[in-house]
C-alpha cells in the first residue's frame, strides 16, 4: 500500500497562521501533477511547530480538498506514544487514508521500545501505517530486523526508509510484504533498484509531475529512462537540500509566488548565498521565477 509518488507537503503560513488559500493551491498543484498521495504535517510541513488543533484542522482540510483524488496520510508521530495515539485518532476522525509515524525523536528508545511504541499505535488506531525511519533527525536507527518484525501487524503496511542504506532497503524488501519508499529524493532511483516502490518526496512540492514520472518509469523497469529523469532532477534536489528542509523548498515555492517563505522558529530564512544557488538551479531546470519573495526578518510565531 502507498506505492508511487507521495509528496510531503509544506504548510504555508502568513502572519503566523496557516494560509489556507495558498494551501489549497499547493494541493491542487500536486493533484494536477499526478502525485499519488500527500503527507500532511510531516517534517516538511513543520509538524514540530504546529499545535494539535492546527494539525487536526490541516488533516480535515487536506482530506476535504483532496476529495479522494489522492490518498492523504497524516504525520502523527511524536516522541510520546500516548500523544501519538491521540493525534492518530484525530487523523482517523478527519478520514485520512493512513498515518506516517516517525521514529520517536529525542527519547532514543531501544529496538524493543520502538517495537512496543509502533504496535501500541497500530493496536489503538485502525488505519494503515507507514513507518518512518530517519536516524539523522530522530537520533535512533530502526534496524531492518525491527521493521520486518513490525510488518506482521495488519495495520503496518509501509515504511519510509531515510537511513540512506541500500542494504536496509534490500533486506526489508526481500524479507516482508511492506511497501518500501525512499525517504531521500536523491536515493529514489537506487532504492527502487533495490526493491523500493516509490518515494516520499520533498522536491515534488516543486515538480510533482517529474517525480511521478521517475517513479512510474522505474516501476515499469525502464531504468535507462528513469536514470535520465534522475539525472535531470539531481541538481535541483541538491539545491532543495542546500540547508535544512523545509527552508529551501519553501523559499523555492515563494520565489514562484505559490506561498510566502514564512517559517516558524527555530527554522529561519536560508542564507542569501544559498538562495542564489537555489535560484540558479531552478533557472537551469526551467522553472519560472515570478516573485521577489521578500526575506523574513524573524521567524513566525505559533498560533495563540
Count the neighbouring beta carbons within 10 Å of the beta carbon of residue 187: 22
The position carrying cell 535512533 is 140
- The answer to whether residues 4 and 36 touch, using CB atoms and an 8 Å cutoff, is yes
Specify whether 285 is catalytic: no
- Going by C-alpha positions, the residue among 267, 218, 183, 241 that lies closest to residue 8 is 183
Rounded to whole angstroms, how far apart are CA atoms 119 and 121?
5
Q: Is 2 helix (H, G, I), strand (E, B) or coil?
A: coil
Alpha-carbon Rg for the chain in angstroms: 18
Specify whether 223 is catalytic: no
- The dihedrals phi and psi of 279, each to the nearest 5 degrees, come to -60, -40
Q: Is 78 helix (H, G, I), strand (E, B) or coil?
A: coil
Rounded to whole angstroms, how far apart are CA atoms 256 and 293?
8
Sign of CA dihedral 201, 203, 205, 210: negative
- Going by C-alpha positions, the residue among 16, 79, 74 that lies closest to residue 45 is 74
- The answer to whether residues 301 and 268 touch, using CB atoms and an 8 Å cutoff, is no
User: Active-site residue among 55, 132, 250, 258?
Assistant: 132
Rounded to whole angstroms, how far apart are CA atoms 193 and 173?
11
Annotated active-site positions, please? Answer: 132, 160
Amino acid at each position: 500500500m502507498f506505492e508511487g509518488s507521495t509528496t510531503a507537503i509544506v504548510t504555508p503560513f502568513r502572519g503566523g497562521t496557516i494560509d489556507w488559500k495558498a494551501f489549497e493551491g499547493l494541493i491542487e498543484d500536486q493533484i494536477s501533477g499526478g502525485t499519488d498521495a500527500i503527507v500532511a504535517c510531516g517534517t516538511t510541513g513543520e509538524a514540530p511547530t504546529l499545535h494539535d488543533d492546527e494539525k487536526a484542522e490541516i488533516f480535515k482540510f487536506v482530506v476535504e480538498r483532496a476529495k479522494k483524488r489522492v490518498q492523504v496520510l497524516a504525520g502523527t508521530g511524536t516522541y510520546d506514544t500516548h500523544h501519538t495515539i491521540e493525534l492518530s485518532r484525530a487523523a482517523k476522525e478527519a478520514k485520512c487514508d493512513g498515518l506516517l509515524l516517525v521514529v520517536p525523536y529525542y527519547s532514543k528508545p531501544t529496538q524493543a521500545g520502538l517495537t512496543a511504541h509502533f504496535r501500541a499505535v497500530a493496536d489503538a488506531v485502525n488505519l494503515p501505517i507507514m513507518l518512518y525511519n530517519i536516524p539523522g533527525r530522530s537520533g535512533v536507527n530502526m534496524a531492518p530486523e525491527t521493521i520486518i518484525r513490525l510488518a506482521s501487524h495488519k495495520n503496518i503496511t509501509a515504511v519510509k526508509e531515510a537511513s540512506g542504506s541500500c542494504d536496509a532497503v534490500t533486506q526489508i524488501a526481500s524479507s516482508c510484504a511492506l511497501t518500501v519508499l525512499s525517504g531521500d529524493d536523491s536515493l529514489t532511483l537506487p532504492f527502487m533498484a533495490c526493491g523500493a516502490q516509490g518515494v516520499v518526496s520533498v522536491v515534488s512540492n516543486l515538480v510533482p509531475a517529474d517525480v511521478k514520472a521517475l517513479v512510474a518509469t522505474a516501476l515499469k523497469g525502464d531504468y535507462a529512462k528513469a536514470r535520465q529523469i534522475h539525472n535531470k532532477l539531481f541538481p535541483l534536489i541538491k539545491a532543495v537540500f542546500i540547508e535544512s528542509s523545509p527552508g529551501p523548498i519553501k523559499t523555492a515555492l515563494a520565489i514562484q509566488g505559490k506561498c510566502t517563505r514564512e517559517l516558524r522558529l527555530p527554522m529561519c530564512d536560508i542564507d542569501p548565498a544559498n538562495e542564489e544557488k537555489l535560484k540558479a538551479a531552478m533557472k537551469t531546470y526551467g522553472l519560472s521565477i515570478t516573485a521577489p519573495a521578500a526575506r523574513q526578518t524573524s521567524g513566525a510565531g505559533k498560533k495563540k
